[in-house]
Structure 1
Amino acid sequence: MASTLQFSVTFLTLLLFSLWVVEAHTSRKLVSIKEEGQDVSHLIKDGELDDPSMTMFFKLGDLKVGNKLPIYFDKLDLQRLPPLLTRQEAELIPFTKSKLDFLLDHFSITKDSPQGKAMKETLGRCNAKQIEGEHKFCGTSLESLIDLAKKIIGANANLKVMTTKLMVPSPNMISYALQNYTFVEAPKEFFGIKMLGCHRMPYPYTVYYCHGHRGGSRVFEVNMVTDDGRQQVVGPAVCHMDTSMWDIDHVAFKVLKMEPRSAPVCHFFPLDNIVWVTKKEMET
């Protein structure tokens, strides 16, 4: 058991290292989470529709070979990425909103600073109760991330880790502009699986907010290229088929110009996010 865990931790460490160092030239934000902490909610604010990162949402009917979508990839500053902690290190630091004052002092962060507000929002989301039909947790270390994912998906499940991969002929050819991407292959769907999406949160060290639903989500692997053919994106996309429990002010409804809770909502994943699925064959 110990050797298995050690292998899993080593694998995930290498995955995250390659994800951030090799592929993390660009990144797309999942929701309106600003690294400086201005806003970490799912709810739309005044002027937020002007944020190009909101193009990550799309409709189920958009998943067609040859279809074109505008997508924006936000630059990720590798030098500002927070450290990854081991379980032993993370367990020495409380992770609860009730200890916010202690944590702010511990990390020498002022309460009203962007970073202080981001910490408060991250702890609030991680400590909040899950909604009906939802699984969620926050992983504060490599070991906890793996253990909690296995606890929800299944201790003996054959897990597959998916990430968004950006491929270009050379690093200096990467474009951070909003541009069109075309589906060059029919999206491949995973059937009969369990899924968890893990999103990196703004915090002094690496924290992943992971969540999934007991049913009603469809998981795809997509392959897209830009109009000039220089950038290719391969990675996961998820369509939430039941949005009836979502907040009526969820940003996705505004971006997609749909009636709240009326239809499925799909989204791509930022480059620094992780998607866990049970490993099964994919179908087109």
Structure 2
Amino acid sequence: MHPYPLFLIMVAAMSAAAVHGRPADGTPAARFWEEALPGTPMPEALAELVQKGIDHSPLEESFTGPYLSIGMCLGHVYVSVCSVERVKKAGTGLFFHEQQIRVGHTMTVSFSPAAVPAILPHDVAAIHHFANLTAGDVIARFHIAPGSKMAAQVGDTLRTCQSPVAGERWAHCATSLEGMVRAAMRTLGGGGRGGVWVAASAVPRGGLPLQPYAVEAVVPLDGDRHVACHDEPYPFAVFRCHRIGLSTTKAYAVALRGLRGGPAVTMAVICHLDTSDWNPAYPAFEMMHTKPGDGSVCHFMPYANVLFGLKATNAMESF
């Protein structure tokens, strides 16, 4: 069986509980997704956040931290944007070598509860675009305590999104689901015959307990050029999408089963094969006891973080 039918079976299993009355059904974001990515289910986490942005708009609520999602620690040309201590607070087993994701292997994993806020409707996000805002504007609008860690994180997000990071020409901050998809497709050049695939981890918003998980299935995903979209600290969902790859990455969908009970999960994984130009202070190296250029570095995609890639033409023909 070609990897894509198996991958779609895994995606269907991830979404089975929401077949009747799926979150976000009928919303403009859902209709856009169906038109832009026909035949590709919207990841459950994104559907939940889209619906939350309609039911409980963050624009009507005060925003309180702390913002503990691991997504903010990924990307940024894989420089040291998070301390090892912060990464450990967000979960265990985030970073690993490619050879560890093989059927029958056991991985000890945990994830803390996710803090990704609601995704605003596209028309609302456009009104509140942060291109010309200052951190003071956001802190005042959302009643964030001045001088707090959350205020500092919001300031970092604004600086990151308003100014390109050195070395990353293909990066974009999206404030809506539509903006995320458009940025990814534009960066990948997804108008070709194969189309674009989407992968996200089916990990509970409430996190995963620390325990050994057995690897039950590993599905390689097409291509060596990808776009990863990670959440950034902000009162509403902001995803920083950046291009990775150029023959240096591989992507997988990996099914895990907890050996002490709990839900089985399907995780999206990205593996970086060449880390020779990474910052030596990047947390993965200390946690894996390695250094830049010393083997692959793989990581799970956290809750509501998304991978995009180009489908191979022969994958489409195999259906």
TM normalised by structure 1 equals 0.76
1:260 aligns to what SS in structure 2? Answer: coil
Structure 1 vs Structure 2 CA RMSD: 3.4
What's 1:249 paired with?
281
2:186 alignment counterpart: 151
- Structure 1 position 154, deviation (Å): 1.4
| 2:110 match | 72
Which of residues 65, 77, 83 is equivalent to 1:45? 83
How far apart, in 2, do the equivalents of 1:5 and 1:141 lie? 9
More helix by share: 2
1:217 matches 2:249: yes
Identify which of 229, 234, 252 aligns with 1:203. Answer: 234
User: Paired residue for 2:301?
Assistant: 269
| Deviation at residue 134 of structure 1 after TM alignment | 6.0
Query: Matches of residues 36-115 of structure 1 in structure 2 within 5 Å?
Result: 36-37=66-67, 42-45=80-83, 47-48=85-86, 50-51=88-89, 53-76=91-114, 82-96=117-131, 99-115=134-150
| Letter paired with 2:148 | S
2:197 maps to which residue?
A: 160
Matched position secondary structure for 1:15: coil
Cα 1:38–1:270 change in 2 (3 A) is closer
Residues 202 and 44 of structure 1: CA distance in aligned 2, closer, same or farther (over 3 Å)? closer
Q: Relative to 1, partners in 2 of residues 1:198 and 1:50: Cα closer, same or farther, differing over 3 Å?
A: closer
Indicate the SS of the match to 1:51.
Answer: helix
Which digits, 9 at most, give the CA deviation of each residue in 1:37-91, with x for residues without a partner? 47955445374575361421101221221111110022247xxx53322333223
Residues 133, 213 of structure 1: 8 Å contact kept: no
Check if 1:15 corresponds to 2:42.
yes
Matching residue's letter, 2:42: L
Give the deviation of 1:101 after TM superposition.
1.7
Please state whether the residue corresponding to 1:95 is helix, strand or coil.
coil
CA distance, structure 2, for counterparts of residue 20 and residue 57 of structure 1 = 27
Quote how far apart the aligned CAs of 1:8 are.
2.6
Contact 2:276 2:293 in 1 (8 A): yes
SS of residue matched to 2:145: coil
| Number of equivalent positions | 258
Residues 175-208 of structure 1, C-alpha deviation per residue, up to 9 Å, x if partnerless? 84211111113x2212335321112222111111
After TM superposition, which residue ranges in structure 1, 4 or more long, deviate above 6 angstroms?
A: none
Structure 2 unmatched ranges of 5 or more: 1-27, 50-64, 74-79
Pairing 1:124–2:159 present: yes
Larger displacement relative to structure 2 (138-147 or 95-104): 95-104
> How do 1:135-146 and structure 2 match up within 5 A?
135-146=170-181
State the Cα distance separating 1:96 from its structure 2 match. Answer: 4.2
Partner secondary structure for residue 143 of structure 2: coil
Distance 1:251 1:21 in 2: 30
1:209-239 Cα deviation digits (max 9, x unpaired)? 1122241111111111111454312131110
8 Å CA contact 1:19–1:272 kept in 2: the answer is: yes
Summarize deviations over 1:239-280 as a string: whole Å, max 9, x none: 011212221100011110102343221001112211112234
Measured at CA, do residues 243 and 206 of structure 1 come closer, stay the same or move farther in structure 2, by a change above 3 Å? same
Measure the CA separation in 2 of the matches of 1:124 and 1:64.
Answer: 39
Alpha carbons of structure 1 residues 156 and 49: separation in structure 2 relative to 1, 3 Å:
closer
Superposition TM-score, scaled by structure 2 size: 0.69
In 2, Cα distance between equivalents of 1:68 and 1:119: 37
Query: Identity across aligned pairs (percent)?
Result: 22
Cα 1:212–1:114 change in 2 (3 A) is same
Cα distance change on mapping 1:37 and 1:192 into 2, 3 Å? closer
